[in-house]
Amino acid sequence: MAEQQIPAPLLAVFRTNNPAEFCLPIRLNYSSQMTMFFRPLPWEYPIRNLFRRPLRTSLTFLGLTTVVVLVLVVVGFIRGLERSLAVSGDQQTAIIFSLGMGENLEYSSIPMRTSDLVPASVAGIQERFGQKYVSPELYLGTEVTAGDQAPSMGLVRGVTPDVLLVRSLVEFEEGDWPRSGEVMIGKMVATKLGASGSEVGVGQTIRFEDRDWRISGLFSAGGAAFESEIWCRLDEMQQAMKRQDLSLVAVTLAPDGDFADLNLFCKERLDLELQAVREVDYYASLQKDYGPVRWLAWLVVCLVSGAGVFAGLNTMYGSVVGRIPELATLQTIGFARRAIVIGLIQEGVLLSAGASLLAALIALVFVNEAAVRFTMGAFALRIDSVAVLIGCTVGISLGFFGALPPAYRALRMPIVDGLKAV
């Protein structure tokens, strides 16, 4: 290269025989410093750096993907629990059960005649072809044995065909309405019992209350809590349990019906000791009770994110420390420290964005709609737009903030020491 093509400051450095002078930073005039201060690194430079260290980049990418997948699983748990409770209630449906039972329907006990007194005494109940939408139900938790599995706590509800009028979300997926000695189960019952689908399929047998029951059908309920329940005929359940009472009566109000009339009936009949609650309010109270569980899940999200930040810091530190001579050389040829920091952030964000997209794809394929057991029964994890947004935000934040501390540490070192670093 001809000497006239080399800038004078660099030519002076190349001509010296003193290594110490070679390591001195180039003195630029004021206008050159201002020009270089606003000059960023080329866009392709950080991208090439990612492929120059394939092993380190792959390990960092795998670690970020794992962290984001864990975040998506926890957020999917929260969203699934909230959705299951939200869709379980109907604005037009009310439930009548024992006074003072709170949310414990399985401990409620009301007279059998309540299912006849309510439609006869309360106006405004939905009616079709002379059939009022009233469903007497017996509800309890009991040990259920499916196949070769050990007994597990299950939720059993004794119902009549009128339940299909009140529970409008229920749809038969397979089989028929149960006859004598038969039950129908929700599609989440297998998860609730910890059994395989073949062990609780149509035609199989389960055992509870010292009786064997044949499974006659499988139903779904739009993701509602009913999907983790076992339904059998009310009269047979009363015989098996030697009870003649009910747990609750569910009614559907007409569009012009007034819940106050139903509430007034319960307050006037002091002999029955009843209370009426809108179904949406009942499940809203359950959501409130599960509030600590949701807060604990969000705490897990924060802890997982924090662990990911520290893992990212550790990886980025190792990456940046090994490139100190390179960063010092960039400063020597005129790139400002701010431009170098932006380049390091660009690397971290590109890597974390790719990891976030891969994690979202994995979660949508393998985690979304996966069934999990819970105290209330079972529900499906939900990886919706909110969960993906939270997961990708956490992932990109890891890449952005994870690059700042190691970049600050590396660029604090004097240029001369950086050029001599090994």
Mean pLDDT of all residues in 313-335: 71
Nearest by Cα to 250 from 107, 128, 93, 111? 93
Q: Is the pLDDT of residue 96 over 90?
A: yes
Confidence of residue 416 (pLDDT cuts 50, 70, 90): low
Q: Is 389 left (phi over 0), alpha (psi -120 to 50) or beta?
A: alpha
Q: Is the pLDDT of residue 251 over 60?
A: yes
> What is residue 412's predicted lDDT score, i.e. its pLDDT?
74
Confidence of residue 322 (pLDDT cuts 50, 70, 90): low
Tracing tokens 């629990």 back to the chain, one arrives at: 81
d(CA 286, CA 289): 5
Q: Is the pLDDT of residue 119 over 80?
A: yes
> What is residue 418's predicted lDDT score, i.e. its pLDDT?
62
> What is residue 278's predicted lDDT score, i.e. its pLDDT?
92
| Model confidence pLDDT, tens digit, residues 354-393 | 999 999 999 999 999 888 887 667 888 999 999 999 999 9
> What is residue 313's predicted lDDT score, i.e. its pLDDT?
65
d(CA 221, CA 228): 10
Confidence of residue 345 (pLDDT cuts 50, 70, 90): confident
The chain-wide mean pLDDT, for the chain, equals 81
- Which range (51-60, 170-179, 259-268) has the least confidence? 51-60
Is the Cα torsion angle 345, 348, 351, 356 positive or negative in sign? negative
Nearest by Cα to 195 from 181, 184, 205? 205
Neighbours of 147 (CB within 10 A): 15
> What is residue 358's predicted lDDT score, i.e. its pLDDT?
95
Pairing outcome for strands 229-233 and 182-186: antiparallel
Q: Is the pLDDT of residue 37 over 50?
A: no
| Model confidence pLDDT, tens digit, residues 177-228 | 999 999 999 999 988 888 887 888 899 999 998 899 999 999 999 888 899 9
> What is residue 30's predicted lDDT score, i.e. its pLDDT?
38
| Model confidence pLDDT, tens digit, residues 129-178 | 888 999 999 998 888 998 777 888 889 999 999 999 999 889 999 999 99
Helix (H, G, I), strand (E, B) or coil at 175: strand
Yes or no: say if 394 and 68 are a contact pair by the CB < 8 Å rule.
yes
Confidence of residue 66 (pLDDT cuts 50, 70, 90): confident
Q: What phi, psi does 211 have (nearest 5°)? A: -140, 150
> What is residue 320's predicted lDDT score, i.e. its pLDDT?
67
> What is residue 334's predicted lDDT score, i.e. its pLDDT?
72
Cβ within 8 Å of residue 297, ≥6 positions away: 74, 75, 77, 78
> What is residue 250's predicted lDDT score, i.e. its pLDDT?
94
> What is residue 378's predicted lDDT score, i.e. its pLDDT?
81
| Model confidence pLDDT, tens digit, residues 277-308 | 999 888 888 878 777 877 888 888 788 777 76
Q: Is the pLDDT of residue 6 over 80?
A: no
d(CA 229, CA 178): 14
Confidence of residue 26 (pLDDT cuts 50, 70, 90): very low
Neighbours of 255 (CB within 10 A): 7
Q: pLDDT higher for 47 or 178?
A: 178
Q: pLDDT higher for 267 or 411?
A: 267
- Give start and end residues of each alpha helix (H) in 246-290: 259-268, 279-289
| Model confidence pLDDT, tens digit, residues 68-95 | 898 899 889 889 888 888 888 888 899 9
> What is residue 52's predicted lDDT score, i.e. its pLDDT?
76
Pairing outcome for strands 127-128 and 131-132: antiparallel
